[in-house]
A and B are shown apart, each in its own frame.
Chain A
């Protein structure tokens, strides 16, 4: 990919000489240091557009208060209510309480909601016209994908970290029993890193779903019939067990390995993660899934299409 870009750069540099006009007088107003086609036209490179597009995602997110509340509030309510409701009937691996079992699952849920909802902005950008401005800018299309995905990942990790920090405090006000989350200062960096990996993967998945869509309605439909079950059947909500087809679906779900990896990093109790895939398997599957989603997303975005012109 970078090879292609270099070739294109080289081609354009030849074009640059051809199009250089004879020197023109400056505008009489003096401020017009502007010369038509003065062709200092620099290539923005790969990362400056990524940075600016990701930054835009963050700024937009924090300007929409309802999004902040929605992405964090709903999973916390889930955790508190399901925790309270299923507390009595749940016997977790290693004797953990349901709140403890569900804790990493909710972190993944937050990552999923934030990551995937952040990609809805592609549909809005297309509808509102912003996207066409990006598509005619001289940036590699990879930058567009990476900008969106990095923006979504950062948002997702920020929100999940807020939950991981605030969740245990809910026991102080009686909304949850005292719990052993397994989160320590030692594993914090690994936890955040792994959440970022899951976030990156899920944002890329959201991107490739959102890119071809013209309306957010379709996206919401996919969200409820495909993405929500994907989370439910990832071992976040209940363990896989060994019961027939359901355990197979869970085993085939790439997100299962994200949740399992997070559990493995967070826990110190071997009994609690017995029966889960090993950390190296979890890491490999999650990275492979992220790469697969990214490849499809980049391929879609690179394809010149009538769809791009609205």
Chain B
């Protein structure tokens, strides 16, 4: 219907650059003694809500700081909205909005003053700045808080001010680090409703880091980070389907003994996860019936469920989400 001009190679380069909001290629990062990221690759398309899911200490905050231009890139390449983070840092900074886990607002200033200073830092002055501030405080339900000291606000309201700050200069890409930290379920719901609206109405690409499964479920696509490696990438549905039909979780008085018996009688290799056994397979309900019939006294509890993102994490890493956090913490 439309005549499409033949693209020359220059236009193609340009087209690919326009296509991706975030491109991360071969990024590794070391703190002096610890490798925080190992050869991470992924891309986020424009208009997507992309989640970086992982246990605390998994590397997502390091990756976030690299994207936000706070940490110097050591190895690999990061392009945001077509601009190279290492060589065009200022161009990147003008185009991205950053919402930090611990809000970057000044508690000794009012909400309005915080936003006014932020506008100045982005070259916005006078009436234009006022108009944008009015718009954002209206949208975020902060209109009656403008003259209140930011330090006296609740966690949820501080987060809203932080989001307003990061949107003043109308970024094409919004980076949020653990945006739900310290929010009650109601505030978390509001936050996600707003992010979804931003995406739909304003085509803002959104990248969030999170360690919460239910938050990850709301993303269009997910990257799962564990111990600095990207272990899975896809939509939440794709990831769940990759695990296989059903998940059986079995509790037993002697899990090692039961593991051997299941292997010898059913030819099924269960996965030992903590004190429980896990089996992922199609038609799990039949196996469940057979197992219960075969080991009525050995099994103390058994459950059957569709795979969750946590199951994806276990399947890809061989350990539980919370164990990973505990390990890093110790």
What B residues does A132 contact at CB under 8 A? 70, 98, 100, 104
Q: A255-277: which residues lie under 8 A (CB-CB) from chain B? A: none
Query: Which residues of chain A are within 8 angstroms of B106 by Cβ–Cβ distance?
Result: 56, 60, 128, 130
Known: A12-B83, A306-B31. Is A60-B108 also a contact (CB below 8 A)?
yes
Q: Which residue of B lies closest to A55 (CB)?
A: B117
Number of interface residues of A (CB under 8 A): 56
Contact B87 A11 (CB under 8 A): yes
Q: Provide the B8-52 mask, 1 if CB < 8 A to any CB of A, else 0.
A: 000000100110000000000001000000000000001000000
Chain B residues whose CB sits within 8 angstroms of the CB of A32 once the complex forms: 135, 201-202
The 8 Å CB contact of A36, one of B98, B165, B203, is B203
- Residues of chain B within 8 A (CB-CB) of A134 are 104, 121
Q: Is A29 in the interface zone, CB < 8 Å from B?
A: yes
**Chain B interface residue count: which class?**
35 or more
Contact with B along A289-310 (1 / 0, CB 8 A): 0000000000000001110110
Bound complex: CA A52 to CA B17 (Å): 35
Chain B residues with CB below 8 A from A152, complex form: none
A12 neighbours in B (Cβ, 8 Å) = 83, 88, 90-91, 94
Tell me if B203 and A21 are in contact (CB < 8 A).
Answer: yes
Chain A residues in 8 Å Cβ range of B171? 36-37
Residue of A41, A48, A136 touching B68 (CB-CB under 8 A)? A136
B224 CB–A CB distance under 8 Å = no
Asked if B120 contacts A39 (CB within 8 A), the reply is no
CB of B81, distance to nearest CB on chain A (Å): 5
Q: Which 4 A-B pairs have the closest CB atoms?
A: A37-B172, A133-B104, A12-B91, A44-B123
Residues of chain A at the chain B interface (Cβ within 8 Å): 8-9, 11-12, 15-16, 18-19, 21, 24, 27-29, 31-45, 48-49, 51-53, 55-56, 59-60, 63-64, 128-139, 304-306, 308-309
Extra A-B contacts (10), CB below 8 Å, given A18-B18, A35-B203, A36-B171: A11-B91, A12-B94, A24-B202, A27-B201, A37-B81, A43-B90, A59-B109, A130-B106, A134-B104, A306-B31
B-side interface residues toward A, CB under 8 Å? 14, 17-18, 31, 46, 65, 68-72, 81-83, 87-91, 93-96, 98, 100, 102-109, 113, 116-118, 120-125, 135, 138-139, 165, 167, 169-173, 201-205
